[in-house]
Structure 1
Amino acid sequence: MLELKIASRFLKSSKGQTILIILGIAIGVSVQVFIGTLIQGLQKNLINTTIGSSSQITVTSNSSDGLIDASKDKIKVIENSNDNIKNVSPSADFSGFMEYNDKNYPILLRGLDLKRADKIYKIKDNLKSGREPKNENEVIIGTDLKKESKLNIGDEITILTPKGKSKKVKVTGTYDLKSSNINNKWIITTMKTAQDIFDSKDKITGIEMQVKDVFSADIISKDVKKSLKEYDLKISNWKEANASLLSGLSGQSASSIMIQVFVLVSVILGITSVLAITVMQKSKQLGILKAMGIKDGKARNIFLYQGLILGLFGAVIGVALGIGLTYSFTKFAVNSDGTPLVPLYLDYKFIGASVLIAIVSACVASVVPARKSSKLDPIEVIKNG
Structure 2
Amino acid sequence: MKLAFDIALRFLKSSKAQTALIVLGIAIGVSVQIFIGSLITGLQKSLVDKTVGSAAQITVSPKEDGNFILAPQAKIKTIKAASPDEIIHPVAVIQGPAIVKTADQSTTIVMRGFDWDAAQGIYKLTDRLVKGKLGTNENDVILGEDLSENLGVKIGDTIEMLTPSGKTGNFLVTGFFDLQVKSLNESWILTNAGTAQAFLETGEGVSQIEMQVSDVFAADEVAMLVEQRLKDNTLVVSNWKAENEALLSGLSGQTASSLMIQVFVLISVVLGIASVLAISVVQKSRQIGILKAMGMHNLKASLVFLSQGFLLGILGAFVGIGLGIGLSWSFATFVTNPDGSSLVPFYIDWHFIGISAGIAIAASTLAALIPAIRVSKLDPMEVIKNG
**Could you state the TM-score of these two structures normalised by the residue count of structure 1?**
0.98
Q: What's 1:218 paired with?
A: 220
Deviation per CA, 1:320-349: give whole Å up to 9, x if none. 111111111112211111001100111110
Q: How far does the alpha carbon of each residue in 1:246-265 deviate from its partner, in whole angstroms, 9 at most, with x for none? A: 00000000000000000000
Report deviation, 1:17: 1.0
- Of 156, 159, 162, 1:160 maps to 162
Is the deviation greater in 95-104 or in 178-187?
Answer: 95-104
Structure 2's unaligned 5+ residue stretches are none
1:100-133 CA distances to partner (integer Å, 9 max, x unpaired)?
Answer: 2242121100011111111001101111111111
**In structure 2, C-alpha distance between the alignment counterparts of 1:54 and 1:148, rounded to whole Å:** 24
Instruction: Kindly provide the CA deviation profile for residues 172-204 of structure 1, in whole angstroms up to 9, marking residues without a partner as x.
Output: 111101001111111000111011112211111
Classify the secondary structure of the residue corresponding to 1:124. Answer: helix
Q: State the distance in 1 between where 2:386 and 2:328 align.
A: 52
Q: Is 2:97 the partner of 1:76? A: no
Distance 1:306 1:14 in 2: 12
Distance 1:64 1:284, change over 3 A: closer
Query: Paired residues, what number?
Result: 385
Q: Which amino acid aligns with 1:317?
A: V
**What does the per-residue CA deviation read over 1:1-53, in whole Å, with 9 as the maximum and x for residues that have no partner?**
21111111111111111111111111111111111110000000000000001
Secondary structure of the corresponding residue to residue 246 of structure 2:
helix
Query: Counterpart of 1:118 in structure 2: which amino acid?
Result: Q
Cα distance change on mapping 1:6 and 1:114 into 2, 3 Å: same
Distance 1:147 1:261 in 2: 51
**C-alpha contact 2:94 2:196 (8 A) present in aligned 1:** yes
2:123 maps to what in 1?
121
2:358 to 351, 356, 363: 356
Instruction: Please say if residues 220 and 239 of structure 2, whose CA atoms lie closer than 8 Å, have aligned partners that are also in contact.
Output: yes
How far, CA to CA, are the matches of 2:232 and 2:219 in structure 1? 21
Secondary structure at 2:126 match in 1: coil
- Contact 2:95/2:200 (8 A) holds in 1: no
* Alignment partners' CA distance in 1, 2:216 and 2:308: 44
CA distance in 1, matches of 2:202, 2:267: 64
Question: Matches of 1:90 and 1:30 in 2, distance apart?
Answer: 47
CA shift at 1:231, angstroms?
Answer: 4.5
RMSD: 0.9
In structure 2, what is the Cα distance between the partners aligned to 1:55 and 1:36? 28
Q: How many angstroms apart in 1 are the aligned matches of 2:228 and 2:32?
A: 46
- Among candidates 145, 148, 151, match of residue 146 of structure 1: 148
* 1:98 aligned partner: 100
Aligned to 2:335: 333
Between the aligned residues of both structures, percent identity stands at 51
Aligned to 1:295: 297
Tell me how far apart the structure 1 counterparts of residues 211 and 65 of structure 2 sit (CA, whole Å): 23
Give the Cα separation in 1 of the matches to 2:54 and 2:148.
22
1:180 matched residue in structure 2:
182
- Correspondence for 1:29: 30
Structure 2: which amino acid aligns with 1:7?
A
Q: Match for residue 311 of structure 1?
A: 313
Match in the other structure for 1:375:
377
Structure 1 segments unaligned to the other structure (5+ residues): none
CA-CA distance at 1:66 after TM superposition: 2.8
What residue identity is the alignment partner of 2:19? Answer: T
| Alignment correspondent of 1:15 | 16
Cross-structure match for 2:64: 63
In structure 2, what residue type is equivalent to 1:218?
Answer: D
